[in-house]
């Protein structure tokens, strides 16, 4: 029969084992997350070089790892591309949050920045290559559409705030939202940017400028 001391020793050993297992899992999770981030970064680079024609071999060669290693994280190219799309939009939402919390910006400035936000790591990516996305990767295109059409709550609240403050004209927000979504979706459906030698960032900035000029209430002009 075990003594009280024996039970205490066993419990301590069990606790140490549990802690050790959790620590090992945390280390493994961190390694997997680092690998995932590295693969996504590599995907951005090869996409910028080769467009949608990039291969897993391209990524493996760039990162100096085996394709087998990539497949331990992503099942195939489509899953990898979907992850890249979600990563982009997640970072856009994070930057939007930072803009909303920036007290040095007025409401109009916040709206302008949020509508045209593009994370730094994506500024050199040639999104003009995505015009073939709908035909070749319809599942990924639908995900882009979904992310473009959702997550507008903070932006809408900011526009409504601007209306109350008198710096934004009374506009029907669903129409404004539809106009911006339609413009961006056209960039992904046609090669209009490539034909006109316009970068995605410049096109986005111009769309935002046009929209902001239309909805901003210039008080000095009314005086």
Q: What is the pLDDT of residue 29?
A: 56
Give mean pLDDT, residues 137-162.
89
Instruction: Encode pLDDT of 167-221 as tens digits.
Output: 999 999 999 989 988 888 887 777 888 888 888 888 889 999 999 999 998 765 4
What number of CA atoms fall less than 13 Å from residue 211's CA on the CB side?
28
Q: Give pLDDT, residue 185.
A: 81
- Report the chain's mean pLDDT, rounded to a whole number: 83
Domain positions in the chain: 1-74, 77-223
The overall longest dimension of the chain from CA atoms, in Å, is 94
pLDDT in tens, 30-73: 777 899 999 999 998 898 888 888 899 999 999 999 999 999 99
Q: What are the Cα distances from residue 29, in Å, to 34, 35, 77?
A: 9, 10, 22
Rg for the chain, CA atoms, rounded: 24
Whether the CB-CB separation of 212 and 115 falls below 8 Å is answered with yes
d(CA 51, CA 39): 16
Report yes or no: 137 and 78 within 8 Å, Cβ to Cβ: yes
Cα four-point dihedral sign 83, 88, 94, 100: negative
Range of weakest confidence among 79-83, 119-123, 133-137: 119-123
Which residue, among 94, 99, 98, has the nearest Cα to 151 in the 3D structure?
Answer: 94
Query: What pLDDT sits at residue 3?
Result: 59
Alpha-carbon distance of 33 to 48, in angstroms, equals: 23
Give me the architecture of the 77-223 domain, per CATH. Orthogonal Bundle (1.10)
**Cα distance between residue 213 and residue 222, in whole Å:** 15
């Amino acid at each position: 029969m075990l003594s009280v001391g024996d039970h205490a020793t066993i419990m301590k050993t069990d606790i140490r084992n549990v802690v050790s297992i959790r620590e090992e899992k945390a280390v493994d999770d961190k390694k997997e997350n680092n690998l995932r981030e590295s693969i996504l970064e590599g995907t951005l680079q090869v996409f910028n070089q080769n467009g949608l024609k990039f291969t897993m071999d391209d990524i493996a060669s760039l990162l100096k790892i085996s394709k087998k290693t990539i497949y331990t994280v992503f099942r195939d190219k489509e899953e990898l591309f979907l992850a890249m799309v979600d990563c982009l939009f997640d970072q856009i939402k994070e930057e939007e949050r930072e803009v909303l919390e920036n007290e040095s910006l007025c409401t109009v400035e916040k709206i302008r920045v949020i509508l045209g936000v593009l994370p730094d790591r994506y500024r050199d990516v040639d999104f003009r290559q995505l015009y073939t996305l709908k035909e070749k990767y319809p599942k990924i295109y639908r995900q882009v559409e979904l992310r473009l059409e959702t997550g507008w709550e903070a932006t809408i609240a900011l526009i409504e705030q601007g209306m109350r403050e008198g710096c934004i004209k009374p506009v029907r927000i669903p129409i404004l939202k539809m106009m911006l979504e339609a413009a961006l979706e056209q960039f992904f459906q046609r090669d209009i940017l490539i034909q006109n030698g316009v970068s995605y960032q410049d096109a986005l900035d111009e769309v935002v400028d046009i929209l902001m000029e239309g909805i901003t209430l210039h008080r000095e002009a009314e005086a």
